[in-house]
Chains A and B, each alone.
Chain A
Amino acid sequence: MKEEKVDVAVIGAGAAGLAAATVIAAAGRKALVIDREDFPGGILRQCIHSGFGLKYYHEELTGPEYAERATIAAQKAGASFALGCTVTDIQIDMMGEFTLVLLSAADGVRKVHADAIVLAMGCRERNRGNIATPGTRPAGVFTAGSAQKLLNLEGCLPGKTAVIVGSGDIGLIMARRLKWSGMEVKGVVEIMPHPSGLARNIAQCLEDFGIPLWLEHSVTRIIGRDRVEGVEVAPLNHGEPDMSRSFTLECDTLLYSVGLIPETELAQQAGVLLDRDTGGPLVDANYETSVSGIFSAGNVLHVHDLVDFVSEEATRMAHCVLARLDGAPSAEKVGNEVGSNLKYVVPAFHTPGATTNFSFRPLIIADEALLRAESEGKTIWEKKLRFVRPAEMISVTLPGELLGHAPITFHLQDTATR
């Protein structure tokens, strides 16, 4: 059994893991990036469309190009890689040293000892079973991301005519991708009154191709015994399908794009507590989880819409990892909460006096809005925002001198004059 010792074990070689390893290795620390896939890049590898990197690299890149840059940066900084390796277990000894168990075809069982761990495992897709779509269980039902993988990495066509369930970004990107592959796309069915993907994807992936978007509609039944033959769709009336106005769309393929869930099983196994609002690990202002020495960033922490934010977040986190390795104490924790119109805030704690970047997921659509931080009944900070959408994460930085010893509650208010 192969054993080795590193300073930091990074689990996941997606945008988050790569950015973290780059910073950690550049500082002279031994960083090992582990990924179950044979190539680094994570989800980016299958995102062959462009639109990545405008913020982080100041250039419009495709997913694989972004992944390549991030990989080369990590390699240049001196990070090493363990690819084709699945982490199946994290053990913690009495001295706080971690042992990771890696399984791979190349090396069998391999043990990696580390002083710190970065969790960058990304997320998984919600599927048909999770939302319990009624009907038959034929072949031809895919999650949008798995269809993307089949098409972009394996060159396989899933079918001839598709309907997309849910208007998440992956589904929108796939609508266009299917069109480009010669498939017919009958439409996108979304239960919410607003799309859950980015506005630019609605325009570029649906509108440009004349693909209908049915908002406030639900797939009420899957039809077809062996292979999908169609779906029954009904408009929603106060949340309930109005069957008197239902209609059938014939198709042989269904793609689900109904949300992403942080991949936290390994984290939970290591004893890391989760944040109810994000589904990801609960972290402090250092991105350190409830288990001292385990840090987290990227989609496993909370689901991001832009990879650039993932790289930025992981970079910030990596500096905190370095500081902790150099002996800095763990962060003092004062709780943050979300009030009106916000789904979550990350990190869930701040440290008095430390300048902190906060990420939020809004629950409302507003062309103009006010984001406000409130502490001990007083507004301590506020910022005007434009074009707030649930599809788009909000990221702001609050100066350390405003962050005191009292908890902060964040509120979002629609301020557009109608």
Chain B
Amino acid sequence: MIYDVAIIGAGVSGAATAWQLSRYELKTILLEKAADVGFGVSKANSGIVHGGFHHPVSSLKARLEIRGNLMFEKLHHELGFPFKRCGILVAAFSEEEMSQVRKLYNQGIANGVTNLEMCSHERMLALEPKLNSEVVGGFYCPGGGTVEPYRYVFSLVEFAVRNGTELLCNWHLTKGEYLGDHWRLTAADGGIVEARYVVNAAGLFADEVSRSCGGEEFRIHPRKGEEYLLDRSSKGCPSHVIFPVPTKHSKGVLVIPTSEGTTMIGPTADPVDDKLDTETTSAHLRRILDQVRSMVNGISHRDLITSFAGLRPVLDTEDFYIAPSQKAPAFIQVAGIQSPGLTASPAIGEYVKDLLKGEGLRLMEKLHIEYELSPRHEARHETIENLDKLHDEDPAWTHIICRCEKISEAEIVEAVRKGHTTVDGVKFYTRAGMGRCQGGFCSAKILKIISRESGIPMQELTKRGGSSRILYGTLGDLEVRL
């Protein structure tokens, strides 16, 4: 069979494209090389829905950021992923920084962002009492927010799949040939997919995918950002996202109240050579701690629960490159999706859909679309009366597996049944193992449930696919030599 559209890469860009296309009478397939969707850049970022004031509208990324931001409310209601419009504060700690803040504010106004407010020292502290009292002033952007990025990707994909999109994970594109009227795509394992149009949304690897399909030559430069997560009980959790005054290459190191109630600090912004280099370093941790402590009170390294790093896929132009290829036919490039890619993603999906239309793809709206995903129950958010009712349907609802985040067995089973069979996949879908003990207590139980539900033996379960096996074997597999 020949699909209408094949999307390479199931990060926010690919997933949002699939979400958009699934409303039309099209046969779409989403191809992802990792074991699950969203395991690329889209799972390792700051999770901020940016306010639209950081970049001038002359850039594509700013235009899509502003549009994307406005689309989140509706998406959140339809798809149910965690999202909070908690607002953003940009804090200045000197007169010099204050003049920068004014420029940023003016840029926001010029970009058409509404409700921006210049703030005095007093106003800043009234809005956010946890700010260091030496704050000189700043501005407030109530339209900024936070989202759980992996949950967001899962929801987009779930919507698309519900509405007919096919998904293949562990599908690593190595070659694409245009056969006159359609593409023949080959995977590393020899699998073949044929489609009339191809969307290259391969994140850090968009340059390689473009090359392997005879598209434009360009280079993606990874720019690393380290992030650190603090426990729910951290006294430094603000109620808004706190930004410093930005530098040329980054928006600076932030303090982020995540939509799930933890605090995140970061990211750094350093160019690296290796697209797989997601190591964290103690020097950067120290730098982040120093910088955020100068902005917000109550942040302590004692509250650290975990760390990670993500790589922004950056092009020399520093802008998004979303356009039909001039070299490869029926091929849309979605490359250089660095920050604010997450924010922009709903608009990216829409934009790509329009480009496909421009390239001759016929879009006919489906008669029946399932707009809303059925609401997900989560033990931690239910009243005890509801939990008791849920228990009558399935006793697993009141069997708590992850104590720190209060995740029930039913939620883990649901994750596995929806296809998340790696430990990280289950963790990102449910939050089991994401709390303060980081799975110390529950990992054995979670492994058992995944194995039971998926039929994969315990020994073969992985953290995130590939060779990331959690266990080696069973007692007795190794010869004992003392």
Q: Give chain A's interface residues, CB within 8 Å of chain B.
A: 1, 36, 84, 86, 88-89, 101, 103-109, 124-125, 127-132, 134-140, 142-143, 145-146, 149-151, 153-160, 179-183, 209, 220-221, 225-227, 252-253, 265, 268
Contacts and interface: CB of A to CB of B under 8 A. Distances in A.
Contacts of B285: 132, 134
Contact of A132 (B301, B408, B475, B479): B301
Given A136-B278, A150-B444, 18 more contacts: A88-B400, A88-B406, A104-B398, A106-B395, A109-B391, A127-B440, A129-B229, A129-B305, A132-B304, A139-B423, A146-B441, A149-B444, A156-B447, A156-B471, A160-B478, A180-B482, A182-B477, A265-B404
Nearest to A160: B472
B310 to A, nearest CB: 12
B59 interface: no
A105 B398 contact: yes
B374 interface: no
A156 B279 CA distance: 28
Q: Which of A134, A137, A265 has the most CB of B within 10 A?
A: A137
Contacts of B459: 156
10 contacts: A103-B399, A128-B306, A129-B304, A134-B281, A136-B278, A156-B458, A157-B477, A159-B471, A181-B478, A221-B279
B422 to A, nearest CB: 10
B163 to A, nearest CB: 34
A139 to B, nearest CB: 4
Contacts of B233: 265, 268
Contacts of B107: none
Contact of B469 (A104, A109, A130, A139): A139
Nearest to A156: B471
B3 interface: no
B396 interface: yes
Contact of B480 (A88, A107, A132, A180): A180
A135 B395 contact: no
A159 B472 contact: yes
Given A105-B395, A132-B228, A136-B278, A125 B437 contact: yes
Contacts of B404: 265
B170 interface: no
A158 B472 contact: yes
A136 B474 contact: no
Nearest to A176: B482
A273 to B, nearest CB: 14
B462 interface: yes
Nearest to B384: A109
B115 interface: no
Nearest to A241: B282
Interface in B381-410: 384-385, 387-388, 391-392, 395-400, 403-404, 406, 408-409
A234 B206 CA distance: 39
Contacts of B464: 139, 226
Given A182-B477, A227-B468, A139 B462 contact: yes
B276 A225 contact: yes
Interface of chain A, main secondary structure: mixed
Contacts of B229: 129
A139 B478 contact: no
A108 B388 contact: yes
Q: Which of B279, B304, B448 has the most CB of A within 10 A?
A: B279
Interface in B422-475: 423, 436-441, 443-444, 447-448, 458-459, 462-464, 466-475
A139 B307 contact: no
B282 A153 contact: no
B249 interface: no
Nearest to A222: B279
A189 to B, nearest CB: 15
Contacts of B441: 124, 146
B280 A135 contact: yes
Contacts of A107: 398
A209 B482 contact: yes
B308 interface: yes
Given A127-B437, A134-B280, A151 B475 contact: yes
Nearest to A161: B472
Contacts of A154: 444, 448, 458
Interface string B269-290: 0000000101111100100000
A131 B482 CA distance: 32
A160 B482 CA distance: 14
B481 interface: yes
A86 B403 contact: yes
Q: Which of A138, A139, A226 has the most CB of B within 10 A?
A: A139
Contact of A104 (B278, B305, B399, B463): B399
B400 A157 contact: no
Contacts of A265: 233, 404
Contacts of A145: 440
A159 to B, nearest CB: 5
Contacts of B436: 124
A227 B400 contact: no
A383 B175 CA distance: 79
